[in-house]
Amino acid sequence: MPEPGSHPSPAAAPRPASKQSWLAAQGRLPLAFMGLALIWLLVATTLLVAHPGLLGMPHAAPPVIALTHSWMLGFFVTVACGAVYQLVPVALTTTLWKENLGWWHFWLHAVGVPGMVFFFQSYQLKWVALFATAVILGVLLFTVNTWVTVGRSTRRDVVAWAIILAAGWLCLAVLAGLFLALNRLFTWVPVAPLALLRMHAHLGLIGFFLALLQGVAFQLIPMFTMGEVRDWGPAKAGLWFSQAGLVALVPALIWQWAVLTYLGAVAVTIGLVFSGYGLQQSLTTRKKRKLDPGIAVFLRGGIGIYAAALAGIALTLPDSTRSTAVGGFNPMIYALLGILGGLMPCIAGMMCKVVPFLTWMRVYGPLVGRRPTPPAHSLTHPRLEYWGLGLQQFAVLPLLVGAWWSSQLWLHLGAWLLAVGVVLFLADMVGVMKHLWLPATAPAPGPALKPKLTASQTK
Give the C-alpha separation, 169 to 150, whole Å. Answer: 16
Asked whether 342 and 307 are in contact (CB, 8 A), the reply is yes
**Exposed / middle / buried, residue 155 (Cβ in 10 Å: 0-12, 13-18, 19+):** middle
Other residues' Cβ atoms within 10 Å of the Cβ of residue 127: 16
Asked whether 297 and 235 are in contact (CB, 8 A), the reply is no
Report the pLDDT value the prediction gives residue 326, as an integer from 0 to 100: 74
Residue 88 Cα to chain centre, angstroms: 15
Asked whether 141 and 101 are in contact (CB, 8 A), the reply is yes
- Please list the pLDDT of the chain residue by residue as tens digits (459 residues): 445 554 443 333 333 444 444 333 558 999 999 999 999 999 999 999 999 999 988 888 899 999 999 999 999 999 999 999 998 888 888 889 999 999 999 999 999 999 999 999 999 999 999 999 999 999 999 999 999 999 999 889 999 999 999 999 999 999 999 999 999 999 898 999 999 999 999 999 999 999 999 999 999 999 999 999 999 999 999 999 999 999 999 999 999 999 999 999 999 999 999 999 999 999 999 999 899 899 999 999 999 999 999 999 999 998 777 666 678 888 999 999 999 999 999 999 999 999 999 999 888 888 887 888 888 888 999 999 999 999 999 999 999 999 999 999 999 999 999 999 999 999 999 999 999 998 887 544 444 444 455 555 444
CATH of domain 22-438: 1.20.210.10
Domain locations along the chain: 22-438
Give the C-alpha separation, 237 to 247, whole Å. Answer: 15
Give the C-alpha separation, 362 to 213, whole Å. Answer: 25
Report the pLDDT value the prediction gives residue 323, as an integer from 0 to 100: 67
What three-state secondary structure class fits 55? helix
Report the pLDDT value the prediction gives residue 5, as an integer from 0 to 100: 53
Instruction: Name residues whose C-beta falls within 8 Å of residue 123's C-beta, 6 or more positions apart in sequence.
Output: 62
